Structure 1
């Protein structure tokens, strides 16, 4: 149990810090602080300075890999596979985190802040709903970030951990970039989604290390032999 606490505390601290940054940014967006407009304008000029038809077609296709619909389908597939492998605790943790943090909480936060999207004349695709935080950025960060973090704890070699972490970040940053490029989000929208996603996965993983053994013991009482990692 002491080993689990040692693993959990750094994760909870990182997650708490990311959550604090998100709260500060959300407050700044809601109160229309000057730095928000400057930050958005600066990054919009950099990302949308040169738009090409061929690149737009590719980004329109790839951005859907961060949509809520795609993430939900992929999550269901992953959870089913984990359940088949009798990794019930990991499956419940993975699916529950993505559903609650990546989908439900994002929806509630959007309707709490109620930020309108950028002017529709600049959109390259059709979108609806409020803007902050970006649903694509949140769902992508939670899904791919959580999967990457789980794999990082699973593999033993440092180069494998680095490759997994780098690949996860590349996917997340690309989806964030795509939402700004397509004109449907402000840069602070995707930054907010990223910060909330990071907070979600680190806090959730910290909690997982604290509760996984009690959950396994509970499942055994129900005659379910859980094979999730217990080290």
Structure 2
């Protein structure tokens, strides 16, 4: 049963990867469907209540590189104190290596300029994919994977999944509201982060928790 479940998940994530490739190509070519997608989502968000926009300006700061470094360092050290060095490595590699370098690599290939019509904060660099969306997906997703490995209470797991999903969604919305990303950037970042998380999770199955044991030479 476990093998069949994994095969089904592999197929699903392969489909998501293909969708991401197609989406990325459409973004690079400025396809009509991408422009329509961006307008349909961005315009209502830019007309959202003032209090919500201000809240998103504050929330989006949590995804800035220096804040991500602080947050991931604290979480990783906490996992180490819980005697979970494998979980710490899984978490740090996902966020710092896969999230940081994976997103940067794609940005340099696509080189999509950021939107300029609406700005609540200032930032440079390229637009696609959203680094905040990619990194937040990997950060929250990695913690959820670790929680699934360590926790036994199913209701708690479901609550954490709901909270984590909301946090990622709000980060995606915040990047659109502050005017530094198109909606297609954040959706691309979500897909990229999800694919990288799944790959990491798949490769580390059975090796994500507990102490690191070095094999002794006889």
For Structure 1 versus Structure 2, the TM-score category normalised by the shorter chain is 0.7 to 0.9
Seen in structure 2, the aligned counterparts of structure 1 residues 9 and 93 have a Cα distance that, compared at 3 Å, is: farther
Match of 1:28 among 11, 26, 29: 26
Residue matched to 1:45: 43
- CA-atom RMSD in angstroms: 2.5
Aligned counterparts of 1:88 and 1:8: Cα–Cα separation in 2? 26
| Conserved? CA contact 1:125–1:182, under 8 Å | yes
Residue matched to 1:77: 74
Range that drifts further, 147-156 or 36-45: 147-156
Confirm or deny that 1:151 pairs with 2:150. Answer: no
* Alpha-carbon displacement from aligned partner over 1:87-134 (angstroms, at most 9, x marks no partner): 222211111111122111111111111000112x41011111000000
Q: What is the deviation of 1:220? A: 4.5
Match of 2:103 among 106, 121, 133: 106
Residue matched to 1:227: none
Aligned counterparts of 1:192 and 1:206: Cα–Cα separation in 2? 21
Question: Which structure 1 residue ranges, 5 or more long, are not aligned?
Answer: 223-231
Aligned counterparts of 1:122 and 1:11: Cα–Cα separation in 2? 39
Residue matched to 1:92: 89
Report how many aligned residue pairs link the two structures: 216
Confirm or deny that 1:66 pairs with 2:63. Answer: yes
Confirm or deny that 1:221 pairs with 2:210. Answer: no
Match of 2:133 among 137, 141, 145: 137
Q: What is the deviation of 1:6? A: 7.1
| Conserved? CA contact 2:16–2:195, under 8 Å | yes
Aligned counterparts of 2:14 and 2:151: Cα–Cα separation in 1? 25
| Conserved? CA contact 2:20–2:192, under 8 Å | yes
Tell me the TM-score normalised to structure 1 length.
Answer: 0.83
Aligned counterparts of 1:15 and 1:68: Cα–Cα separation in 2? 27
Q: Which protein has greater RCO, CA pairs closer than 8 Å, 6+ apart?
A: 1
